């Protein structure tokens, strides 16, 4: 498999995981249950968001992905 394809799959999976944790935090907030703290899900979301940004910067630095050229 191509490195670009694997990178895109990992990136999409991380973004889906971020959305799942955000939805789980929403359900905890709406229901008001204290079994699992809402901050746990929000903390995971922030952690994986930082991981996505770091992966994008590493991929740009290593040349796996290339930015679009300037429009001017």
**If residue 20 lies in a helix (H) or strand (E), which one and from where to where?**
helix 3-31
Q: What is the pLDDT of residues 15-58, one digit of tens each?
A: 999 999 999 988 888 887 777 888 888 899 999 999 999 999 99
- The yes-or-no verdict on residue 72 having pLDDT over 80 is no
Measured CA to CA, the distance from residue 62 to residue 60 in angstroms comes to 6
Q: Which structure tokens are listed for 8?
A: 């895109």
What's the pTM value of the predicted model, to 2 decimals? 0.82
Name which of 12, 8, 9 is nearest 64 in CA terms: 8
What are the angstrom distances between the C-alpha of 67 and each of 7, 33, 57?
15, 44, 11
């Amino acid at each position: 498999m191509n490195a670009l394809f694997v990178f895109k799959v990992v990136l999409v999976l991380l973004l889906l995981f971020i959305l799942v944790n955000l939805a789980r935090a929403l359900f905890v907030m709406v229901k008001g249950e204290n079994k699992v703290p809402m901050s746990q899900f929000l903390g995971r979301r922030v952690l994986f968001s930082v991981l996505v940004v770091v992966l994008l910067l590493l991929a740009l630095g290593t040349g796996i992905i290339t930015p679009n050229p300037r429009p001017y």
